[in-house]
Amino acid sequence: MTLELPHLGKRALADCGAAAAGLTSRQKALKRTFDVLGAAVGLLLTFWLIALAWVLATLETRQNGFFLQQRVGRDGRLFKVIKIRTMRPSAVHTTTVTTGNDPRITPLGRLFRRAKLDELPQLINVLLGQMSFVGPRPDVPGFADRLEGEDRAMLSLRPGITGPATLAYRNEEELLASQPDPELYSREVIWPDKVQFNMEYIRCWSLVGDLGYIWKTVVG
């Protein structure tokens, strides 16, 4: 069976003239400074919204409204990403791949996901230095930690709340819902394409570019 990306097709990757070994020390310092200042301001402005979402999620799921899951971070180190809980546990559905029609998603959870409110607690991860505003999405073990060769440059970055691959796959859950084997499609088709997006991001990094990705994420 041949798996393809019907919605994207072939892409010509940008060549910005930079090596894919990772950001320079100066670029890393600039990116981190922006992350710390942005996360501090963001938490001051949205702490009330995070608290409200946590209360509602706790009442709806009858579990802690914060969902903590182990993800692969910079240099392959594991950390716990913090999100608002949007799903109920299920003994039948145990996959980490979520589709648009996943029965585990609660009614409020769908609203939180659509408005990206479930992502707000990740500002804490950013402030702690575990994540960045922009970068590769933090995946569960079995993806980024198995990268080889030049692609391991992705591990030199803190994973991001948003980024080029995240924006390209805004409708990933709906795309996966249309596949006969969502987990296989995610691993064999979507993941390799995300790696290409992220390698291009490393080669072409700029603070202005990061601001652009954040703006596109906010305005939808």
**Pseudo-torsion of CA 207, 156, 171, 47, nearest 10°?**
-70
19 part of a folded domain: no
From 83-87, 89-93, 116-120, 209-213, the region with the lowest mean pLDDT = 89-93
Percentage of the chain modeled with pLDDT above 70: 85
How confident is residue 176, by pLDDT bands cut at 50, 70 and 90?
confident
Total number of domains constituting the chain: 1
210 part of a folded domain: yes
136 part of a folded domain: yes
In the predicted structure, residue 9 carries a pLDDT above the cut 60: no
51 part of a folded domain: yes
pLDDT per residue over 65-97, tens digit each? 999 999 999 999 999 999 999 988 765 665 666
State how beta strands 160-162 and 132-134 pair. Answer: parallel
For the entire predicted model, the pTM comes to 0.86
13 part of a folded domain: no
8 part of a folded domain: no
3-state secondary structure the chain: CCCCCCCCCCCCCCCCCCCCCCCCHHHHHHHHHHHHHHHHHHHHHHHHHHHHHHHHHHHHHCCCCEEEEEEECHHHCEEEEEEECCECCCCCCCCCCCCCCCCCECHHHHHHHHHCHHHCCHHHHHHCCCCEEECCCCCCCCCHHHCCHHHHHHHHCCCEEECHHHHHCCCHHHHHHCCCCHHHHHHHHHHHHHHHHHHHHHHCCCHHHHHHHHHHHHHC
How confident is residue 20, by pLDDT bands cut at 50, 70 and 90?
low
> Do 140 and 71 form a contact (C-beta atoms < 8 A)?
yes
Full residue range of the structural domain in which residue 78 is found? 25-219
In the predicted structure, residue 10 carries a pLDDT above the cut 50: no
33 part of a folded domain: yes
In the predicted structure, residue 61 carries a pLDDT above the cut 60: yes
The predicted model gives 194-209 an average pLDDT of: 95
Question: What pLDDT is recorded for position 159?
Answer: 96
10 part of a folded domain: no
Question: What pLDDT is recorded for position 135?
Answer: 96
CA–CA distance, 52 with 50 (Å, rounded to integer): 5
**Residues ≥6 apart with Cβ < 8 Å to 174:** 99, 100
Question: What pLDDT is recorded for position 220?
Answer: 72
Percentage of the chain modeled with pLDDT above 90: 65
The predicted model gives 44-70 an average pLDDT of: 96
Question: What pLDDT is recorded for position 118?
Answer: 95
Q: Phi/psi at 28 (nearest 5 deg)?
A: -65, -40
In the predicted structure, residue 113 carries a pLDDT above the cut 80: yes
Q: How far is CA 86 from the centre of its chain?
A: 16
In the predicted structure, residue 6 carries a pLDDT above the cut 60: no
CA–CA distance, 14 with 10 (Å, rounded to integer): 13
As a whole number, the mean pLDDT across the chain is: 88
Question: What pLDDT is recorded for position 173?
Answer: 81
State how beta strands 78-84 and 66-72 pair. Answer: antiparallel
